[in-house]
Amino acid sequence: MYLFKFFKRIKFILTFWKFIPFLKEFFLSKEVPFRKKGISVILLLVYIFFPYDLIPDFLLVLGIFDDVVIATFILQRTIQMAPESLKEKYRLT
């Protein structure tokens, strides 16, 4: 089970560029309540201004890995908050 989640996250990271149009529409859409947009922005800002590292960045690959995991977590939460119509449009269901 854990290994499946790990590979799912790796796939998600490798295809991140596909989520840029989704994010643009998420933040510009009138379908998405302002509260949900605000939560996503707050999560991103908290991580940007307080980048707590579980693994120090001087360990190169491992140090970057925790940053990628946290960024992936934030993006997944944003997708979960999106309305079903937006998820279906970008095939994220």
What's the whole-model pTM score?
A: 0.71
Question: Do 86 and 26 contact (CB within 8 A), yes or no?
Answer: yes
- Span 55-87, pLDDT tens digits: 666 666 666 677 777 878 888 899 999 999 998
- Tens of pLDDT, residues 13-59: 677 777 889 999 999 999 999 999 999 999 888 887 876 666 666 66
48-60 pLDDT, tens digit per residue, is 787 666 666 666 6
Length of the chain in residues, anyone?
Answer: 93
For 27-93, the DSSP string reads: HH-SSS-HHHHHHHHHHHHHHHHS---SS-GGGTHHHHHHHHHHHHHHHHHHHHHS-HHHHHHTT--
